[in-house]
Structure 1
Amino acid sequence: MKNAFAIVGCGATAIAFLQRHLDRVAACNTPAGTIYLFEKREDFGRGAAYEADLQSNILNTKTGFITPYPHLPGHFQRWLEDHPGAWRHAFPEFRPTPESFAPRALFGVYLQDQIKKIVLRGASLGCLLVLMNAEVCAIDLIDGMETVRTRCGLSIATHKVLLFCGPLAKKVDPDKYDERVLATPYPVARLLKTISPDERVAVIGARLSAIDTVIALIEGGHRELIRMHSRSGYFPVVRGTQERVELKHLTREGVRALVAQNGPLQISDLVALFRKELAAHDPASTSAVIPLPAPPADVISFIENEINVSQAPRIWQAILYATNGFIEHLWQALDDTAQARFMREYFSFFMAYRVSIPAENARKILGYLRSGQLEFVPGAFAAPEPVDVPGLSIRGAGWEHVYDRVIYATGFPRDANLIESTLLGSLIKNGTATCHPMGGICVDPDTYRIQGRTGSARQIYAVGELTVGQFFFTSALEINGRHAFCCADAMQWREETHRVERVEEHV
């Protein structure tokens, strides 16, 4: 098939790529052709992050900011205002103000609408988009073509394959499988069907997934005590009221200048740049900006304070968020030793302060802690194991708790060998892909082509969580959308493009 390529995983990142690809087709910079969209889930567009779920599961980015399209800020907000009939009946209590935090499932409805419009737009530009509801389990190089194989026995030869797999779950050791231990909480609606309100529950983790889990259970009528276990002891900060800022010192150019002058940077170099940036926006903040990297001694007091200070602008947060446009360059400016040290000593601290939560969720968690229905347990602990009495035991230094259910809410595993994916496992096994020492798989930072140990030039590319080691922060839609656009721009095609008349405007 002429100019055929395949996309594995049809979520928000795939939508961003397709939008950019069709823009390039319309501008005669890329040839039209056939695009196969493989999605193992029933719904196309939602992906794992925005699947149908409880309305308590909300975004942590404001409605006015979130969009899959880097060049169309506010697109989701405008869609909500222009298409109330598409969502109001299912989300009658939501008010789409720019400052609101929408249910993740509502954003999924929006993405479903986008993929439908993209398919129509593609047809108007001479691109055939074929939606394949199937799981890809292997990609074989046959006669110079990347042949996609599905679990249901289908094989399709294409010129290129793009992996937009999204967050994947952790492997479960079949020898240690226990139905009482859930490897992921999503969709959280499932928890209400499988967990009795009177069961003792442990939630492993303390970031966004864990918070979604606790809120879903308690709002769904759970009565027994829930404990949230955090090895690091950190709890996310609360998002302030600040607007976005334009950086002056902590910029891509500033980092490049430092590297050119001194070579690879150390963590202290980036901290110094951050402090200089903060002083430029808030001259009064020349001393400690973010608390020292130590977990809170009292999580209730910590959340109370966070809710209070979040009612005003938090400039340091705005500065951190403003690095979304080039955060991978900050990461790549560090040498290997500094990267390893950051992951070992500062990653948990960084994520707690970089990935904030809405005040609405903070208030809910605070209420649960105050009432005694939720406990926060910091510190290291051993993996759950069966005990003589019915239940699962979790042991730490000087303590032990027994549960009926254990829910892992720790997000995407960075180690590619631990990811539950037949496709990824086969690519690593045959040498097409290699594990990155900082997580995920190795990709070329400019073309996004995956790099294998065999040295063969395969036409397989990846954007999103699989590239976490190369790009560091790949869990934000804004960042993955930008990478998807860059990937589309970097894509090379052999034959010349031909003029295609535009029939439909941008989605």
Structure 2
Amino acid sequence: MHRDIVIIGGGATAVAAFTQVVRTPGIASVTTVDPNPVGLGHAFGVSDPLLLCNTSVDVTSLRPDGPSDLLDYLSARGWAARPEDFVPRYLVGHYCRERYLSGRCEAERHGTAVAHHRARATTVRATADGYRVELDDGRRLAATDVLVCLGLDRPRLPELLRPYDGHPRLLPQPYPTGRLRALPDKAEVLVLGSKLSAVDAALVLCADGRRTVMTSPSGRLPAVRTRLCRPDRPLLDSRRWQRLDPRAEDLDRELTRLLLRAIGRAGAGLGLRAQTSSAAVPEERLRQELALAAAGRVPWQDVIAEVIDAINDWTAPWDPALRAEVLGRYRGLMSRYISSIPARNARLISGHLDSGRLSLAPGYPVGIEPVADDDGWEVEWPDGRHERFTHVVCGTGFHTPQLDAAAPGVYRIGPSVVHDAAPEITEDLRLVDPHRGSTERIWVLGAAAHSRTAIVNYLNTAAKQAQRVAAQFTAPAVPAVPAAPSALAA
């Protein structure tokens, strides 16, 4: 059977899927649906050279195994990159774009029809012989198989600001950064958030000399690392990790032992306390962690790539409720260390703090309201103080892509509309229709697979998912089949 594949999404995950699928025999056509040029998605479609990847070249690759394909790409173009380097995000966008274009040419030479529709997919409907993908421009595409590869591009507004969505002095996200750079030179900006997108906002605003205040409920900045690479030798006992019972009373202790042993191997016995800072003041903690990174005393970073794979493999068979319950206990640590920032960014943030251009608020606002006559914002702090800002920027993350089963065989893409009929995603990344009880020929990858894959905002994870999905295409296409229950259903 020849397959006609539609890929929904056009970012790095979509390119990873495309490059794997077009190498598979029996593919008649591959059509990508995304309003932007394929490869230039939300994560890597930025053009600001100030913004770095927070993962190293070694793992920021469309090739899931072996030497980094991104490293080969950069070296061939005269970039003196190393596997451990953090490169500007726009370079990864160009890399994804060029790999898509070269893969397209190769596929067409072998008789596979390739197309790109610059629109958004809104609905996928099951038909007698496959699926129909409906676009927001009215077009409809026939498919035997559908790959949903949507990324994170819909900003999450804090509850305090939802009534003011669309306000001219409210930026719901830092991207594209041209909007930040276009603010008046004397703008005084409140950045909500203290994680990766908030750090990006602060870097751009402070580089142009604008007074900026960052605030978040946790008040914590990400940890500091000098690389995120795959280790030369295994450090983590992954087999033992996979055998852990997520409901065991001693789970915390066993996980801690595994992590400490791995970190000890990475650091030749250097204890974890000697690798981290416990300073209560975020500014001081940042300075201490920068000093540790500069001294090469952060071997914990060399365990992160294995930890990501271990968590994703360990939690993949679980019921979503169990996954949310267990991972929720470690969310703070996972966020701070897995999503740590490059030392270069940390040095810039520290310099802006020392210069006074940037400050970290000691609390999170209890009230934010626009001032009359479009004169900015008035913020009320927990201690009762009031402060004025000309603009507010949200660096508070993004909604995960949503795919809802609006009716039997009808799957709507976008904000959730049917909360009690969310489709399940199998370990093979296939969608299960909650109405029909059938496993569909719809695969979900990357950020869209958040209900099955714990850590999705990581290109190496997307590349591995793409490889797994393409391997399933080597067998003949089969009709939808009844869903199998989760191995660890709640």
Same fold, TM-score > 0.5, yes or no: yes
Q: What is the rounded CA distance, in whole Å, between the counterparts of 1:58 and 1:333 in structure 2? A: 34
The aligned residue for residue 208 of structure 1 is: 196
Q: What is the rounded CA distance, in whole Å, between the counterparts of 1:124 and 1:98 in structure 2? A: 32
SS in structure 2 of the partner of residue 111 of structure 1: helix
The question of whether the paired residues in 2 share the 8 Å contact of 1:275 and 1:289 is answered with no
The aligned residue for residue 180 of structure 1 is: 169
Asked whether 1:233 is paired with 2:228, we answer no
Q: Deviation of residue 200 (structure 1)?
A: 1.7
Which of 37, 50, 61 pairs up with 1:56? 50
The aligned residue for residue 434 of structure 2 is: 453
SS in structure 1 of the partner of residue 41 of structure 2: coil
The aligned residue for residue 33 of structure 1 is: 28
1:461-481 deviation per Cα after TM superposition (whole angstroms, max 9, x unaligned):
211112223211111111111
Kindly report which structure 2 residues correspond to 1:158-173, keeping only aligned pairs within 5 A, or say none: 158-170=143-155
Amino acid at match of 1:354: I
C-alpha spacing 1:490/1:48, structure 2 compared with 1 (3 Å): same
1:86-122 deviation per Cα after TM superposition (whole angstroms, max 9, x unaligned):
xxxxxxxx75344432211121111111111110111
The aligned residue for residue 451 of structure 2 is: 469
SS in structure 2 of the partner of residue 402 of structure 1: strand
Which 5+ residue runs of structure 1 have no aligned equivalent? 26-30, 85-93, 435-441, 497-507
The aligned residue for residue 413 of structure 1 is: 399
The aligned residue for residue 359 of structure 2 is: 375
Q: What is the rounded CA distance, in whole Å, between the counterparts of 2:459 and 2:227 in structure 1? A: 20
The aligned residue for residue 18 of structure 1 is: 18
Q: What is the rounded CA distance, in whole Å, between the counterparts of 1:394 and 1:417 in structure 2? A: 36
The question of whether the paired residues in 2 share the 8 Å contact of 1:382 and 1:395 is answered with yes
Q: Deviation of residue 174 (structure 1)?
A: 8.1
Q: Deviation of residue 288 (structure 1)?
A: 4.4
Which of 280, 288, 292 pairs up with 1:309? 292
Q: What is the rounded CA distance, in whole Å, between the counterparts of 2:62 and 2:238 in structure 1? A: 22
Kindly report which structure 2 residues correspond to 1:342-361, keeping only aligned pairs within 5 A, or say none: 344-361=328-345
C-alpha spacing 1:214/1:236, structure 2 compared with 1 (3 Å): same
Kindly report which structure 2 residues correspond to 1:479-490, keeping only aligned pairs within 5 A, or say none: 479-490=461-472
Q: What is the rounded CA distance, in whole Å, between the counterparts of 2:115 and 2:103 in structure 1? A: 12
Amino acid at match of 1:187: P
Q: Deviation of residue 248 (structure 1)?
A: 5.2
The question of whether the paired residues in 2 share the 8 Å contact of 1:227 and 1:375 is answered with yes
Amino acid at match of 1:69: R
Q: What is the rounded CA distance, in whole Å, between the counterparts of 1:263 and 1:404 in structure 2? A: 51
The aligned residue for residue 504 of structure 1 is: none
Q: Deviation of residue 34 (structure 1)?
A: 0.9
Q: Deviation of residue 274 (structure 1)?
A: 0.9
- Answer with 129-138 or 396-405: which moved more: 396-405
Q: What is the rounded CA distance, in whole Å, between the counterparts of 2:477 and 2:306 in structure 1? A: 39
The aligned residue for residue 263 of structure 2 is: 278
Amino acid at match of 2:173: T
The question of whether the paired residues in 2 share the 8 Å contact of 1:266 and 1:334 is answered with no
Asked whether 1:365 is paired with 2:349, we answer yes
Which 5+ residue runs of structure 2 have no aligned equivalent? 405-410, 479-490
The question of whether the paired residues in 2 share the 8 Å contact of 1:16 and 1:68 is answered with yes
Q: Deviation of residue 433 (structure 1)?
A: 3.6
The question of whether the paired residues in 2 share the 8 Å contact of 1:264 and 1:335 is answered with no
1:179-223 deviation per Cα after TM superposition (whole angstroms, max 9, x unaligned):
322221111123223x2221221111112211111112232x243
Q: What is the rounded CA distance, in whole Å, between the counterparts of 2:17 and 2:320 in structure 1? A: 30
Amino acid at match of 2:243: A
Q: Deviation of residue 50 (structure 1)?
A: 0.8
SS in structure 1 of the partner of residue 398 of structure 2: coil
